[in-house]
Each structure stands twice: as C-alpha cells, then as structure tokens.
Structure 1
Amino acid sequence: MDNLKEINCKEIFRKAYERRYTWRNDFKGYQGKCIFLRNNIIHKGSFALGKDFKPNIQKIEDENIVKSIASQLFEVCIHRVKREFESVHSENNFNLLKNSESGILMNVSGKNQGDKYRVKNDCINMVYRTIHGSIIEIFVEEFLDTGKGFLSKKYSSQQIDPNTLKAKSQKLEYEDEFVNIDKKDYWILSSRTIKYLNQNKEEETQKFVFDDIRLLN
C-alpha cells in the first residue's frame, strides 16, 4: 500500500467512465411490446421510446403501471447518452479514500462535493450521489461486457437521507437482461427484475419484459 499516493483517482475514474456502454449520437429510439408482472398479475401493452427519450405506453389502462414502465425505459435510456467526461466532471477532483479488494474508493471535491465512487477492473461498481435532494447509493455485483463498453447487469439501489445518512427507502435488487438489436451494437434492455421487501418484510418481485424490439428509423 506504499503506492497509495501515486494512485491518480481522476484518471482511474475517467477510464472507467469512458468504458461505460453508451448509444451512438444518431440513436433514433425503438419500439416493441411490454409486459409487467407482479404477484402473478400480468399486464401487456406496447411502447415506443423516441429520440427525445419520452416513453409512450399503449394498451395498459392502469396509470401507475404505465408510469412504472415509462420510468424504467427513461431511466435506462438516460444512462445510454454519451456525455464527454470533461463536460460532466471538469470541475470535480477525485480523492482516494481506500484501496481494497472491493476496488478503489474515492470521494469527489469541487462541483459535486460529497459524491463517492468505487472502481474495480476499470468498472464503476459503487455510486454514492446526491440527486434531487436525496443520496442514491448503488452497488454493482455483475457487469455485461458488450464489446463496446460495460453495462450494469446485477445491482442494488437505495435512497439515503442526506441529513441523517440513514436509509429512506427500501433496498431494490435489480437484475437486467439485454439484447443486441440488428447487430448494430444497440444493446437494449429486454427484461428487468426488481426484488424488495414490502411493509410486511415479505419479498416482492416486479418484472418488466420488453419484447419484439425494433429500432425506429
């Protein structure tokens, strides 16, 4: 551990940031069928996601389920936008906190003061960020190597109260599956399973399936 001072956290984070999988800038969106499953109840519909990243869900009447499907589609696509490292992090510095088997843990000073990241094998496997007044803490267990970058495949997410630093939401366990469309290196979410404990501390599962996917021209 004598070389800790030689670790350049900003360059390590930059490399991992640039190895995330993103869509090309000429992405025009996609459409397909969507299925929502919870407690043995199935809702089937169709969807379109335009280049403006606004999901349009059809043939499902339950507004809460429509919102839930739309939020998954939006959340997925917003992370596929290619934004240059300097445009996002030029006003941030990255400072070493710990180097362990779990990865290189660093905190951020500057514009995004207080955020934290952890990097292992050139992948960001922990995110601790303040978003809209809440801290979001994400731990990634498994990645998919698309050949064009890495996608989080199995991970957990939880909201933390920024004042008490205690959990303010249940922990959500995600498992994602992706499909490569038309061999054009557009990796699209084909299913997402979310597990969590309900108010009775019983495990519940929601599953979103996206099928018959076609790129929009």
Structure 2
Amino acid sequence: MNIDTFIAWLGVMLPLMISPGPANIVLAGAGMKQGVKNSIPLIIGINTVIVSYSLIIGLGLGEFLRSYPKLLFGIKMAGIVYIFYLSYKFLVIKNFNSAKANTKVYTFYDGLILQLLNPKGILMLFLMFSLFLNPNKNQAIQVLSMVLMLLILAIFCHIIWVTGGNAITKFIKHEKSQKIVNYIFSISLSIVAIWLLIDAIKNL
C-alpha cells in the first residue's frame, strides 16, 4: 500500500473506528466504571474479534454471509438485542463509586460477545475491503497488512474512549450528575440500536 492509498484508508477508517458505536460507548462506560487498567481485557476481547472477522472477510469467506442474507440478518438482530441489554445495564448503575466496588466488570468475554454481535463492525470490514483491496496484487499480503493497520488504529481509538470515560469520573462527583451521564450512555446505545434495526429492516 502506497502513501496515497494509506492516507485514503486512514481518512475512511479513522472516522468509522472512532465514531460512537456500540463498542466505543461500552468502552467509555467501562473506563468510567472500572478504570483503564481493568478495561484492558475488554479491549483485547473486542480486538480479537475485529482481527478474526477481518481475516475471514478479507480472505473471501465473508461471501458466505452475503450468500445467506437471513443468517446475516439474524446476526444483526442478535446484536441489536444485546446492545439494548447493554443500554439497560447503564441504567442500573447507581453511581460510579458503587460500580467500581462491584465485582461485576466488563471482561474479555464481554468484548468477544459485543463485537461478535456488532453489525456495524461487520459492515465496516466489508466496506474497507471493497474499497481498498486491489485484485491485481497479492490478496493475502494486502489483507494481512490492512488487518495489522486496523488493529493498531482500533487499539488507539479504544484507549481514547476508555481514557475519556475514566476522566469523566474525576470531574463528576455528585450522584445526580453521575446518573445523568449513565442516562446519556444508555440513550446513546439505544439510538444506535434503533438505527441499526431500521437499517436492517430496510435492507431485507
């Protein structure tokens, strides 16, 4: 990949990766609830799936999903239900201090499930490879290069979201303010889920 293509790739993928989607909103909530260090397993879980999906789709196996639209629709629906569930979880957090004292934190497995069922993540990868995979060059090398670049970009963006979420706790001390922030995260996730639901129904 030459420098011009890389700049174009970054121009497309950076906004997609850093924009408020299900994973990023949950990462901010995790940073708020359990701190940056304890959120690392969640980041690893999310990125394990990103790499796995990238390899599957980039090497052509993603066409299997395109051949079975009902299966892809089922994955989307499961993801939407899970996002609504995560939205509910934000509502039941009473305050950040009690949340941090709670042993129930977002784990590696939460990251796996979240990203496995994240339809936005799957569609983003289809878009990336359809735009930047050159059929006249070695496919395997291109895919591996893009997967590595995407992993670095994803980790960078995820750390920003976790750190940002953690920073909120240093400025918000009152329980009422904490509750408002929880509602904002919950509503944000619900809006994303509703948007994904409308988009999935439109593409039936």
Please confirm whether the aligned pair reaches a TM-score higher than 0.5, indicating the same fold.
Answer: no
For Structure 1 versus Structure 2, the TM-score category normalised by the shorter chain is under 0.3
> Higher strand proportion, which one?
1
> Higher helix proportion, which one?
2
Q: Which has the higher contact order (CA 8 A, sep 6+)?
A: 2
TM-score (norm 1): 0.25
Larger radius of gyration: 1
TM-score (norm 2): 0.26
